[in-house]
């Protein structure tokens, strides 16, 4: 079966309701955790009324979360913005192993330096590993452990077929332009809105669309602007294939973006895996 892709689009304004760095970090942590639970492989941050600083903060926290624990101190310097990352929930995804690697295991590694023999890589093994290929330095890449001896760990560039975390993309563009610029391009774009048709009334249509899609993109609005505000031009709205309300008859006046993401991805996960 061909691998399917899921991208979620979130606005930079998702953290605009508070200036508290701890609360902002926690909100982003909920988004990253939901993305990992439901196997989103791309989180796209688009610009609405948000500042570049807000977009960068979201991107940095999400990228930190997705980075294996054994590489974080080497990749991320201690900054004011990341001082609350200790409250982030662990992803516990396959690319975040907790033990030492064995032969045949897959790991993400940080390329440290190039030598005559290849590239020295930190894969969290307690000692450096060697890849015989000459790779770019200071990059996080995926590897398969080829051989472990008393003196050496040999690895090769490779990636498993299982879920392997998400990529964070900051487009610095509006929502419409962000959808248009995403590669690979989504073949199914789903908008979420409280003003849309309840998903319960179009379940069969949604299931059929998901079944035929290789790359689904799900769009979320922000605390101050919904999708109708963000894509108001009638011609641009044609880029959205389906628009649904995934929380019909909500009991609260508003649903926060991080709450909408968890609820929506849960619904689509059920529909995607329904017989």
Q: Are 85 and 185 found together in one domain? A: yes
> Does residue 21 form part of some domain?
yes
> Percentage of the chain with pLDDT > 90?
88
Tokens representing residue 203 in the block: 């379940």
CA distance 209 to 224: 29
Q: Are 137 and 174 found together in one domain? A: no
Average pLDDT over residues 83-102: 95
- Mean pLDDT estimate for the chain: 94
pLDDT category, 236, cuts 50, 70, 90?
confident
Q: In 10 A of CB 145, how many CB atoms?
A: 21
Q: Are 144 and 228 found together in one domain? A: no
Stretch among 1-10, 73-82, 107-116, 171-180 having the lowest mean pLDDT:
1-10
Average pLDDT over residues 194-214: 95
CATH number, position 121: 2.40.50.140
Residue 163 has what pLDDT? 96
**Is residue 202 over pLDDT 60?**
yes
**Is residue 159 over pLDDT 70?**
yes
CA distance 161 to 3: 8
> Does residue 98 form part of some domain?
no
Q: Are 55 and 176 found together in one domain? A: yes
> Does residue 97 form part of some domain?
no
Residue 275 has what pLDDT? 61
Q: Are 182 and 77 found together in one domain? A: yes
- Per-residue pLDDT tens over the stretch 128-144: 999 999 999 999 999 99
pTM of the model: 0.95
Q: Are 122 and 216 found together in one domain? A: no
**Is residue 85 over pLDDT 80?**
yes
CA distance 25 to 9: 18
Which range of residues forms the domain containing residue 68? Answer: 5-91+168-272
Q: Are 125 and 11 found together in one domain? A: no
Average pLDDT over residues 186-199: 95
* Sheet-wide strand order for 242-245: 167-170, 42-46, 5-11, 215-219, 188-198, 242-245
Residue 26 has what pLDDT? 97
Q: Are 50 and 172 found together in one domain? A: yes
Residue 103 has what pLDDT? 97
pLDDT category, 213, cuts 50, 70, 90?
very high
**Is residue 1 over pLDDT 60?**
no
Contacts of 20 (CB under 8 A, 6+ apart): none
Q: Are 190 and 221 found together in one domain? A: yes
Burial class (CB in 10 A: 0-12, 13-18, 19+), 163: middle
Query: How many separate domains does the chain show?
Result: 2
CA distance 182 to 42: 10
Q: Are 9 and 87 found together in one domain? A: yes
**122 phi, psi to nearest 5 deg:** -95, 115
The pairing of beta strand 153-157 with beta strand 140-148: antiparallel
CATH number, position 25: 3.40.1280.10
């Amino acid at each position: 079966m061909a691998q399917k892709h899921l991208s979620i689009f979130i606005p930079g304004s998702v953290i605009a309701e508070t200036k508290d760095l701890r609360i902002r970090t926690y909100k982003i942590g909920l988004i990253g955790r939901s993305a990992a639970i439901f196997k989103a492989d791309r989180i796209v941050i688009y610009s609405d009324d948000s500042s570049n600083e807000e977009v960068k903060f979201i991107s940095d926290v999400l990228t930190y979360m997705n980075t294996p624990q054994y590489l974080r101190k080497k990749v991320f310097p201690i900054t004011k913005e990341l001082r609350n990352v200790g409250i982030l929930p662990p992803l516990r995804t396959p690319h975040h192993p907790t033990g030492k690697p064995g032969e045949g295991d897959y790991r993400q590694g940080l390329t440290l330096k190039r030598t005559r023999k290849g590239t020295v890589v930190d894969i969290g093994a307690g000692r450096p590993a060697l890849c015989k290929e000459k790779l770019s330095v200071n990059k996080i890449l995926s590897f398969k452990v080829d051989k472990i001896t008393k003196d050496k760990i040999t690895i090769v560039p490779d990636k498993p077929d299982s879920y392997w975390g998400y990529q964070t993309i900051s487009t610095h563009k509006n929502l419409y332009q962000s959808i248009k610029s995403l590669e690979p391009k989504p073949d199914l774009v789903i908008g979420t809105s409280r003003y849309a048709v309840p998903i319960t009334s179009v379940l069969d249509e949604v299931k059929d669309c998901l079944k035929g899609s290789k790359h689904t993109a799900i769009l979320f609005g922000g605390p101050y602007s919904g999708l109708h505000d963000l894509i108001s031009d009638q011609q641009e709205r044609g880029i959205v294939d389906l628009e649904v309300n995934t929380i019909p008859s909500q009991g609260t006046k508003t649903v926060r973006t991080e709450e909408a993401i968890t609820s929506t991805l849960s619904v689509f996960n059920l529909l995607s895996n329904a017989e």
